[in-house]
């Protein structure tokens, strides 16, 4: 199997009938780039920037961030790189910010909520991103968006920083796409409205599943409720994809589900455009996709949506796609 996967390293990701999707990788630091290249990923679908802020005693400067982002986009040499703005809080802490403890950190002051309040910190990151955008195919993504107002405010800050940089004579990327993570059920439900204003969606199933099922993603006792194949999750995923396509936009997925062999046929069948996963899952997924047609996958996904339980969905996929 390994030999078969290796042959696909420099091939595009296409199904048996020639339908193309993007198989890209999740990274945490520029150190992960080697894995991206070795596994033939077609880009980076999620660069989690919080690691730049962690394990130190103060905020990273604009220059430090610019250097890291530039290194990543240059290394990808024109291939897309989706960089997510700071997603701190929840399970990830920054001791030097001195934030009060919370009863429900996953429902609390994290990610975009924190950035919209700590605007100087956020603006610094936005400037670094805009400048790095001049060196490759960089896209910016905001995490944990729950309302359109949050998106509009974040985008307005980005535009302000862009204008300031231009006034200072500093070069920025032109036409940088700006998208959001869909990881909160309200946003999935409101996807038609969001799709008019964002350039793309990336579905964050790690959080979307925990918030939809009300099951803490870190809690073993309730892990039986953490069900990627639950028809409720598949229905949300479908409505997000459909809403984006209705506006001529694209949808990716950057949660663990995107590289799961049971989920891959379903997501392909639902029309997902971009699958972002750990680099080591890219070649197995490419191989899997090469053996199915879009129609087979779409039929299976349509049937799965009508089933009643996650187990039924899993059995259906296993019966249709024995390699899953
Ligand atoms: C997600 O929620 O699916 C996601 C990709 O983000 P993180 O795992 O960093 O919360
Ligand atoms: Mg998340």
Is 206 within any annotated ligand binding site?
yes
pLDDT at 322: 85
∠ CA 164-67-24, rounded to 5°: 100
Asked if 243 contacts 195 with a C-beta cutoff of 8 angstroms, the reply is yes
Is 104 within any annotated ligand binding site?
no
Residue in 105, 91, 101, 107 with CA at minimum distance from that of residue 54:
91
Mean pLDDT per 10-residue interval, the chain, length 324 residues: 90 97 98 98 98 95 98 98 95 88 93 97 98 98 98 98 98 96 98 98 98 95 98 98 98 98 98 98 97 98 98 98 78
pLDDT at 91: 76
Hey, whose CA ends up nearest to atom 9 of ligand 1? 48
The response to whether residue 278 sits with its C-beta less than 6 Å from ligand 1 reads: no
115 as an active site residue: the answer is no
Burial category of 138 from C-beta neighbours within 10 Å (exposed 0-12, middle 13-18, buried 19 and up): buried
Rounded-to-10 torsion of CA 49, 51, 53, 54: 160
Hey, whose CA ends up nearest to atom 1 of ligand 1? 204
CA of 305 to the centre of ligand 1 (A): 24
pLDDT at 324: 61
pLDDT at 92: 85
Considering every ligand atom, which ligand is closest to the CA of 51? 1
Note if the pTM is more than 0.90.
yes
Is 274 within any annotated ligand binding site?
no
* C-beta contacts of 221-228 below 8 A and 24+ residues apart: 227/310, 228/256, 228/257, 228/260, 228/262, 228/263, 228/310
Reported as a single tens digit per residue, the pLDDT across 4-33 is 899 999 999 999 999 999 999 999 999 999
User: Rounded CA gap, 54 and 86, in Å?
Assistant: 11
Alpha helices for the chain (secondary structure H): 2-7, 33-38, 50-53, 62-76, 111-117, 119-132, 148-167, 185-189, 191-195, 205-213, 231-246, 263-270, 282-290, 294-306, 310-320
The response to whether residue 255 sits with its C-beta less than 6 Å from ligand 1 reads: yes
The response to whether residue 87 sits with its C-beta less than 6 Å from ligand 1 reads: yes
SS3 assignment, position 66: helix
Find the catalytic residue in 111, 126, 254, 264. Answer: 254
pLDDT at 294: 98
Is 84 within any annotated ligand binding site?
yes
Q: List CB contacts of 79: < 8 A, sequence separation 6 or more.
A: 42, 43, 44, 137
The response to whether residue 179 sits with its C-beta less than 6 Å from ligand 1 reads: no
The response to whether residue 254 sits with its C-beta less than 6 Å from ligand 1 reads: yes
């Amino acid at each position: 199997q390994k030999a078969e996967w290796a042959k696909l390293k420099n091939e595009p990701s296409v199904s048996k009938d020639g339908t193309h999707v993007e198989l890209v990788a999740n990274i945490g630091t520029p150190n992960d780039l080697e894995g991206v290249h070795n596994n033939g990923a077609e880009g980076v679908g999620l660069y989690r920037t919080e690691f730049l802020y962690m394990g130190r005693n103060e905020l990273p400067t604009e220059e430090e961030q610019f250097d890291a982002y530039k290194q990543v986009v240059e290394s990808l040499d024109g291939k897309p790189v989706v960089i997510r703005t700071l997603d701190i809080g929840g399970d990830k802490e920054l001791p030097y910010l001195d934030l009060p403890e919370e009863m429900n950190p996953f429902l609390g002051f994290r990610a975009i909520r924190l950035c919209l309040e700590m605007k100087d910190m956020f603006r610094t990151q936005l400037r670094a991103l805009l400048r790095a955008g001049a060196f490759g195919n960089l896209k910016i993504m905001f995490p944990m968006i729950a309302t359109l107002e949050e998106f509009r405010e974040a985008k307005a800050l980005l535009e302000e920083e862009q204008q300031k940089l231009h006034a200072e004579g500093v070069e920025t990327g032109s036409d940088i796409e700006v998208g959001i993570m869909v990881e909160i059920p309200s946003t999935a439900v409101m996807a038609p409205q969001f799709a008019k204003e964002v350039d793309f969606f990336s579905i964050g199933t790690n959080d979307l599943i925990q918030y939809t099922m009300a099951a803490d993603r870190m809690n073993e006792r309730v892990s039986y409720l953490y069900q990627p194949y639950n028809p409720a999750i598949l229905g949300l995923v479908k409505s997000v994809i459909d809403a984006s396509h209705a506006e001529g936009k694209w949808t990716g997925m950057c949660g663990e589900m995107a590289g799961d062999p049971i989920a891959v046929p379903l997501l392909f069948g639902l029309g997902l455009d971009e699958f972002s996963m750990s680099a080591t899952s890219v070649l197995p997924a490419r191989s899997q996709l090469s053996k199915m047609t879009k129609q087979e996958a779409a039929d299976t996904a349509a049937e799965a949506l009508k089933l009643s339980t996650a187990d039924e969905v899993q059995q259906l996929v296993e019966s249709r796609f024995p390699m899953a």
